Amino acid sequence: MINAGIIIIDKHGRDNVSLLFPIFENYLNKKASDEEKYDLVREGAVIFTGALAKHLAKDDPEVHAVVKLLDVLNTPSEAVQRAVSFCLSPLMQSKKDDAPALVSRLLDQLMNSDKYGERRGAAFGLAGVVKGYGISCSKKYGITAAIRESLADRSSVRHREGAQLAFECFCETLGKLFEPYVIQMLLYFWFLSLTKL
């Protein structure tokens, strides 16, 4: 069903943006009595919103509404969070001015949220944002340094866990693009372990 919906949106989405966006937003904002079953509906709405957003111009006001997807990252469903990460990537080029604020918000949630699901969602979101802006933004906005510092932080379990979640999501989302950073991190921790001996 999702694949069929994407095909329909690809063919007819450009002509029906104003009709479809409110429908998808309604499903994203709706609270359900059975959240577990509704997660499948929410996942579909996220994917369709991302597919529809590809038809928007960079200056279209609906692009700002699409960034509401970041709020959906708090849904404690990995499938929904993964779908949001996938949909965020192509939208980031139109949100370059908001990059520092988006990255800061996601890093804060990743390292400081009380809930595991929210931290995991922030990791997926951050990976989608980095993929959208390009791997160079991880250095430009201090993401790599923040992850490195958090991994070495012995006083905060949340920081270490958040950094590991980000590391996992970056490896999954960015794939081979992230390998040089993986090697750099491993060498850093190998050196760190030698200095502790």
**Angle, alpha carbons 105-188-100 (nearest 5°):** 20
Q: Could you report the per-residue pLDDT of 88-109, keeping only the tens digit for each?
A: 887 787 777 788 888 999 999 9
Non-local CB neighbours of 12 within 8 Å, separated by 6+ positions: none
Q: What number is the average pLDDT over the span 139-166?
A: 88
Confidence category of residue 61, pLDDT binned at 50, 70, 90: low
> Is a pLDDT exceeding 80 seen at residue 122?
yes
Alpha-carbon span 110 to 28, nearest angstrom? 22
Q: What number is the average pLDDT over the span 35-46?
A: 78
Q: What does residue 30 show for φ and ψ, rounded to 5 degrees?
A: -70, 140
> Is a pLDDT exceeding 60 seen at residue 197?
no
Q: At what angle do helices 35-53 and 78-91 cross, to 10 degrees?
A: 10
For residues 128 and 87, the answer to whether their CB atoms sit within 8 Å is yes
Q: What number is the average pLDDT over the span 11-17?
A: 86
For residues 35 and 63, the answer to whether their CB atoms sit within 8 Å is no
